[in-house]
Structure 1
Amino acid sequence: MPLKPPKFPPTLNSLQCGNLVQSITNLKSHQKGKQLHAYVISTGVLINNAYLATRLCAMYASNGRMAEARLLFDGIAFKNSFLWNSMIRGYASNGFSLDSIAMYRDMLRSGNNGDNFSYPFVLMACGDLSLVQIGKRIHCDVIVSGYEPDVYVGNSLLAMYAKFGEMGVARKVFGRISERDLTSWNTIISGYMRNCDPGKAISVFSVVAKGKEGLDQLTLVAVLPACANLSALKQGKEIHAYILRSGMEFNKILMNSLIDVYIKSNFMMGSKRLFERMDNKDTVSWNTMISGLACHGDAIESLTLFHRMNHNGFVPDNVTLVAVLGACDKVAALQFGKSLHAYLIRKGLDKGVTVGTSLIDMYAKCGSLACSCQVFDEMPIKNLISWSAMISGYGLHGKGQEAVECFNEMKEKGITPDRVTFTSVLSACSHSGLSLEGKEIFHQISTEYFKKPSVEHYACMVDLLGRIGQLDEAYKLIMNMAVEPNIDVWAALLSACQIHHNVELAEIAAHKAFELKPKSVGIYVALSNIYAKEKKWGAVRRVRDAARYNGLRKPPGCSFVELDMTIHRFLVGDKSHPQSQSIYAKLSELRQQLKESGYTPDSSVVLYEVEEDMKENLLWDHSERLAIAFSLLNTSPGMTIRITKNLRVCSDCHNVTKLISKLVGREIIVRDAHRFHHFSNGSCSCHDFW
């Protein structure tokens, strides 16, 4: 049904029509504006009426109808500042930044100067297009015309220089604004965040928080990501208190940002409490909490929360799905991951690069390298991250040669490897003992790509050389590094010293590591283990006493098994599981069978000064053995057993798992802190090199 035209009075004078145009402009009603335009043409009011034509032009520009605005604009002989500014603003506000700048240039050529209504929008156009030189020339015009202290113009200059990444200039402009308002402070805070300087963003926020300007929601939205990036828990709590006092706790954006601050500050209790109290949760709230739990090691709770999200009627988006896939790989929840993959296929979301890459990573970390390969092969579009994920997957499963071949194929397709890709392929070489391939790829970084190896690349090379026993060469490489070695480099050398029983070099590596990170529990544990293997019990006690003095404790061994999409967790010596009695009975049975087949425990891996029979008992309390017994009790004969462990598997458990795989005729896949071990028929895919 066609719209009825409005009933205008039979005669309206120019001023009355102008007032009507202004009212329609305020209403943003394009249809009524066109009807009024037709009326003034038909009644002859518009003839030779520059005032009314200017008002109509401004109306079209305000509504984003720049083609109609331009027709009117070109027909007006005498153009005033209001008309020029309306066109500059219309073009800039509707994405026609180049036209806005061209209009500003034409205005100057016509003899009209810029003012505090034209400068903000042409500066915005320069910022949007990153036209640095033009923006600086217009800044000169601003200074000459005396408008720089104007708060409206000054704020636009701040925003432009923030987009250019020139925060030093922005800070000078900020200092010259005569009467700064809250927008000025918000713009400078957002500028520092945009340019990855959260420390200065918080510093500026601290000043405005003490001033008379007050804080609004935009200020808080701008500064909370800075608190999250710096894990600034104290400032986050202060802002939370201010939000509660100001009655802004119902703002979802603020609450979601606060949850993120608490998560990134490792204050999980606070994030959970805040999340549960939110009555107006949205998808972002759920996503933030799900990914936060996964990142902070509570993957089981992350998956549980995803179930709740679905139950409460929220539809997961790509961010949710990527986060949940990440949680799956933390505990090798393959069944859950496969069901999620099926959901993605049903929804047609499985072919995207981001989700596809997450699936590759999830399957690889859940122990199904074949599924990773299948997803990778079926991806219609692959980017650098997809290739890197596949290379990393091969490395995790000890397929170093395949990782190198994948790396070379990627290069043949014209994709340039980045820092992460080189780290993945060097790590794969390290886990497979491919020293020649690793050295060649390491040299390619500088010879083919003219880049300096990063500290991560050096850490991989130290690990590679150390694993194959070339400790002197590894130490020499560290001494000649082009960058300062970090704790990962020294930890890699220390790990190699543990494998090859080099106490002297281990002490050097540990000393350097302690200088960089005095409270690294992993370094204390590694050094203590090295002394224990050499039966230097006095040194062991000194190291362990030092760790206790610093409030450090070695994390207990923990293994996970997924059964019927439920995660079962076992700690070392765990007797809390409902099937605990049956599990230990099964272990006793396995222990007897292995003894009868000639198994002798390697008690040297028990790094405590206790009797031999006690050492053997301690070995059978290891978490992965409990997980194996549980899996044998609860799965059908012939089924693959999949276990995830938080620590490196010890040599005796490695040997026992090989023997059990032959004894029960099962494949047992164990992912430890370093890599995957595929045990089958009495052997392991790592060939005892891990």
Structure 2
Amino acid sequence: MIAIATATLKPFILHNANICKKSLHTNTITNPKSALRFPLTSLQCGAILQSLTNTKSTAQGRKLHACMLTCGNLQNNTYLSSKLAAFYAACGRMIEAQVIFDGVALKNSFLWNFMIRGYASGGIIAYKALAMYRKMLRLGIVDNFTFPFVLKACGDLGLSEMGREIHTQVEVCGWDSDVYVNNSLLAMYLKFGNLDVARKVFDKMPDRDTTSWNTLISGYVRNNNAMEALMIFYLMGKAGLKADGTTLLALLSACVDLAAIKQGKEIHCYAIRNNYVSSNEFLMNSLIDMYSNCNSVAVARQLFEELKIKDTVSWNSIISCYQRSGDAFESLRLFCQMLIEETAAPDEITLVAVLGACEKITALQFGKSVHSYLTKTGIFLNSFLGTALIDMYAKCGELSCSHHIFCEMTQKNMVAWSAMIAAYGIHGRGKEAISVFNEMTANGISPDEGVLTSVLSACSHSGLVDEGKKIFNEMTIKYDIKPGPAHYLCLVDLLGRAGLLNEAYELVKRMEVEPSADIWAALLSACRLHRNIVLAEISAQNIFRTNPTRVSSYICLSNIYAAMKQWTAVEKVRTTMRNYGLKKPAGYSSIELDSQVHMFFVGDKSHQQTKDIYAKLKDISWRLKEKGHKPDTSSILYDVNEEQKEKMLWDHSERLAIAFALLNTPPGTKIRITKNLRVCADCHTVTKLISKLTDREIVMRDNHRFHHFIDGICSCGDFW
């Protein structure tokens, strides 16, 4: 018996035996990490092993093992051998545990259970726990301590059929009244996603402890049934049980899923009343995350500032909070603060949030710095980070960088393919998007709904009507995917932009499901482009029936009336907007220069270079007039004279940003601008002319797509 163990474990025994003799000196058995005098009795060794098992002190246990072998304590000692095998199993050292286990002649259920526990906790080797359980079953030594870890192994491996078989054996053996066994059954069925059976197990339990309630609540949250999780919590209170930190963490996750700020506040109050908040940093982080996901930015920030120790999770929650809420500037400022304070290191979640903030305000230089940071720090470019970089570069106008990152990625998941297709799409490179799509399918990857949405959207931005219709028609036949609202939206947008309004309208009427407000809005937008009032009014009526406060649709309808000079109808729409308290969002443009982002609003005179900017615009205006440019005032939807309309055009934010860039960058420098609204027809024409006049490339991102202006031509082909 001992000969086998010694031979197999010889490498570390020889290494540790001398160390053990030199360094272990006695203190007390209650302090096993301190050293021991020799020789030790079996009882002393057993007590120390038990203590080391509890603390999982692998290094100290190895030293003790070497000492016991040297001193002969293990020879023919089943008690100590069992204890030693159990120690290694508890530490996850299953190779050593198995060697010692195989050498024990008389194995009791204690030792078997420890081995099963070790294998069940070992990830992919959990199947060995089930093999050992089969042997125990044949020997007839299964007890209530066996089942919890066998059931855990079934749950982790997804073996639902075997799990049900073991459930039957639990009942046959009479352990279906044991609370620990029942908790394990509950956890297993919840891992399978079988909520109905899990609830039946829970309802039949004669005794329930806090773990029982926590397991059920957490299981409902993981299985996307957050509302039921909150209901279980209220039943828990009625049953007289007090929630602990684990309960509250699960409940806060449920509130995040539901965006349930009211219930989240109630849980926060409960945590304060029971003194959980100050002592539980995990709970504080979850509270910050809950408030940020429920758009309570101020409360999330207050809790963040109250944290004494801010770890990576804390920083991630607050950085993501500002990024989601639209305050990209504060998100980036917090990231800089995180790096300065050095209380926690950014991880991939941090960097994805920061890259998302960069893309919102086209902060290309900041985004490049983040890319450089992750490269220098050796953070692995997985599909998660790679996709974020593809998005950032694409939305900052550097499509070539997106393509480079995409080619560099060794692991491309479906989201990465979709991101690259979408990147080409927003830049009006529909044919390249289709090429990537074809490359993906040629590699044997079948597209999902998201990829098909991206490629259809790319067709829409490029006016590829035939290609878009072909892909849409192939969805069901070739890919066995039924078109959803997002796919119909892309096709309606594609047909509408191409002027095929009647075909788009017929498509909407043929939909098997109720058309969404977004689909009607796409048709309404197409009616604005092609000035079809009749179909515009039909579209608007369908939008307002389900969403009477959709401000963008009121503005679009008002613009259509104004373009047709139907001022009475315009005023009627504006009156309705006032009655609902709706306002048109202020137009603004932003530009990054020397690591600073400058923002300009319509008619903005707050910038320190205002005089120079307007002087530059006046000069450009005169030069364009000399070239024969006549302003297109159709986008000025106010009943004023032409001179006033022309002046209003030159107040548009993108022109202010262009003038600022011309004043502050060397000749030939590429200009990058982000605009929050759709660029108007005259600004589009003027920007083309400025690109030719100044010999500059101007990249403009509006809320629909990218425009690359070079030598008087735009990449969109005037199709936007």
Alignment TM class, shorter chain as reference: over 0.9
Cα 1:323–1:16 shift into 2, 3 Å: closer
Counterpart selection for 1:411 from 438, 441, 448? 441
Q: Which amino acid aligns with 1:333?
A: A
Q: Give yes or no for the alignment of 1:193 onto 2:221.
A: yes
Q: Give yes or no for the alignment of 1:61 onto 2:128.
A: no
Q: Which amino acid aligns with 1:652?
A: D
**Residue 159 of structure 2 corresponds to which residue in structure 1?**
131
CA distance in 2, matches of 1:587, 1:327: 30
- Do the aligned residues in 2 keep the contact of 1:202 with 1:226 (CA within 8 Å)? yes
**Residue 363 of structure 1 corresponds to which residue in structure 2?**
393
- TM-superposed deviation, 1:444: 2.1
**Residue 525 of structure 2 corresponds to which residue in structure 1?**
495
- Do the aligned residues in 1 keep the contact of 2:49 with 2:61 (CA within 8 Å)? no
**Residue 541 of structure 1 corresponds to which residue in structure 2?**
571
Cα 1:188–1:325 shift into 2, 3 Å: same
- TM-superposed deviation, 1:537: 2.5
1:525-571 Cα shifts (integer Å, max 9, x gaps): 22222222222323222322222222322211011011101001111
Of 623-632 and 89-98, deviating more is 89-98
- TM-superposed deviation, 1:419: 1.6
Cα 1:273–1:10 shift into 2, 3 Å: closer
Q: Give yes or no for the alignment of 1:2 onto 2:31.
A: no
Counterpart selection for 1:117 from 104, 129, 145? 145
CA distance in 2, matches of 1:204, 1:401: 53
Cα 1:21–1:340 shift into 2, 3 Å: closer
Q: Which amino acid aligns with 1:296?
A: S
- Do the aligned residues in 2 keep the contact of 1:334 with 1:363 (CA within 8 Å)? yes
**Residue 293 of structure 2 corresponds to which residue in structure 1?**
264
**Residue 328 of structure 2 corresponds to which residue in structure 1?**
299
SS of aligned partner of 1:567: strand
Counterpart selection for 2:235 from 207, 216, 235? 207
Of 489-498 and 411-420, deviating more is 411-420
- TM-superposed deviation, 1:651: 0.8
Counterpart selection for 2:710 from 672, 676, 680? 680
SS of aligned partner of 1:2: helix
1:310-363 Cα shifts (integer Å, max 9, x gaps): 111243222222222221111111222223333334344475433333222212
- Do the aligned residues in 1 keep the contact of 2:245 with 2:276 (CA within 8 Å)? no
- Do the aligned residues in 1 keep the contact of 2:20 with 2:63 (CA within 8 Å)? no
SS of aligned partner of 2:479: coil
CA distance in 2, matches of 1:627, 1:311: 31
**Residue 399 of structure 1 corresponds to which residue in structure 2?**
429
- TM-superposed deviation, 1:643: 0.6
Q: Which amino acid aligns with 1:297?
A: G
- What is the 5 A alignment of 1:573-612? 573-612=603-642
CA distance in 2, matches of 1:508, 1:241: 49
**Residue 281 of structure 1 corresponds to which residue in structure 2?**
310
Q: Give yes or no for the alignment of 1:655 onto 2:672.
A: no
Q: Which amino acid aligns with 1:659?
A: L
- TM-superposed deviation, 1:178: 2.0
**Residue 425 of structure 1 corresponds to which residue in structure 2?**
455
Of 301-310 and 532-541, deviating more is 532-541
Of 434-443 and 598-607, deviating more is 598-607
CA distance in 1, matches of 2:53, 2:456: 63
Counterpart selection for 2:65 from 30, 34, 53? 34
Of 73-82 and 223-232, deviating more is 73-82
Cα 1:421–1:61 shift into 2, 3 Å: closer
- TM-superposed deviation, 1:68: 4.8
SS of aligned partner of 1:291: helix
Cα 1:352–1:79 shift into 2, 3 Å: closer
**Residue 467 of structure 2 corresponds to which residue in structure 1?**
437
1:163-219 Cα shifts (integer Å, max 9, x gaps): 111011111111122221111111111111221222222222233355532121111
SS of aligned partner of 1:294: helix
SS of aligned partner of 2:20: coil
**Residue 327 of structure 1 corresponds to which residue in structure 2?**
357
Q: Give yes or no for the alignment of 1:665 onto 2:695.
A: yes
- Where structure 2 has 5 or more consecutive residues not aligned to the other structure, the ranges are 1-17, 26-35
1:9-68 Cα shifts (integer Å, max 9, x gaps): 7695x767655654554454523552575378x36x864x65555445444433444445
Of 414-423 and 85-94, deviating more is 85-94
- Do the aligned residues in 2 keep the contact of 1:559 with 1:623 (CA within 8 Å)? yes
Aligned pair count?
A: 685
- Do the aligned residues in 2 keep the contact of 1:603 with 1:612 (CA within 8 Å)? yes
Cα 1:381–1:176 shift into 2, 3 Å: closer
- Do the aligned residues in 2 keep the contact of 1:21 with 1:36 (CA within 8 Å)? no
CA distance in 1, matches of 2:711, 2:92: 72
Q: Give yes or no for the alignment of 1:233 onto 2:261.
A: yes
Cα 1:52–1:553 shift into 2, 3 Å: same
- Do the aligned residues in 2 keep the contact of 1:458 with 1:489 (CA within 8 Å)? yes
CA distance in 1, matches of 2:382, 2:43: 58
TM-score scaled by structure 1? Answer: 0.93
SS of aligned partner of 2:612: helix
CA distance in 2, matches of 1:249, 1:592: 66
- What is the 5 A alignment of 1:371-390? 371-390=401-420
CA distance in 1, matches of 2:683, 2:428: 18
- Do the aligned residues in 2 keep the contact of 1:397 with 1:677 (CA within 8 Å)? yes
CA distance in 1, matches of 2:664, 2:214: 59
Cα 1:352–1:104 shift into 2, 3 Å: closer
Q: Which amino acid aligns with 1:223?
A: L
Counterpart selection for 1:217 from 245, 253, 260? 245
- Where structure 1 has 5 or more consecutive residues not aligned to the other structure, the ranges are none
Counterpart selection for 1:106 from 135, 140, 143? 135
- What is the 5 A alignment of 1:467-486? 467-486=497-516
CA distance in 2, matches of 1:638, 1:9: 83
1:465-506 Cα shifts (integer Å, max 9, x gaps): 000111111111112224432222111111111111112211
CA distance in 2, matches of 1:364, 1:18: 64
CA distance in 2, matches of 1:35, 1:347: 40
1:224-266 Cα shifts (integer Å, max 9, x gaps): 1221121111122222233333152353322222222122211
CA distance in 1, matches of 2:213, 2:81: 39
- Do the aligned residues in 2 keep the contact of 1:243 with 1:249 (CA within 8 Å)? no
- TM-superposed deviation, 1:434: 0.8
- Do the aligned residues in 1 keep the contact of 2:20 with 2:67 (CA within 8 Å)? no
**Residue 541 of structure 2 corresponds to which residue in structure 1?**
511
- Do the aligned residues in 2 keep the contact of 1:250 with 1:280 (CA within 8 Å)? no
Cα 1:71–1:425 shift into 2, 3 Å: closer
Cα 1:552–1:202 shift into 2, 3 Å: farther
CA distance in 1, matches of 2:572, 2:238: 50
SS of aligned partner of 1:669: strand
Of 253-262 and 127-136, deviating more is 253-262
CA distance in 1, matches of 2:144, 2:153: 15
Q: Give yes or no for the alignment of 1:90 onto 2:114.
A: no
CA distance in 2, matches of 1:521, 1:470: 26
Q: Give yes or no for the alignment of 1:143 onto 2:171.
A: yes
CA distance in 2, matches of 1:212, 1:206: 10
Alignment RMSD (CA, Å): 2.5
- What is the 5 A alignment of 1:552-567? 552-567=582-597
- Do the aligned residues in 2 keep the contact of 1:392 with 1:428 (CA within 8 Å)? yes
Q: Which amino acid aligns with 1:129?
A: L
1:618-646 Cα shifts (integer Å, max 9, x gaps): 22221111111211221122222111001
- Do the aligned residues in 2 keep the contact of 1:46 with 1:52 (CA within 8 Å)? no
- TM-superposed deviation, 1:411: 2.0
Cα 1:602–1:431 shift into 2, 3 Å: same
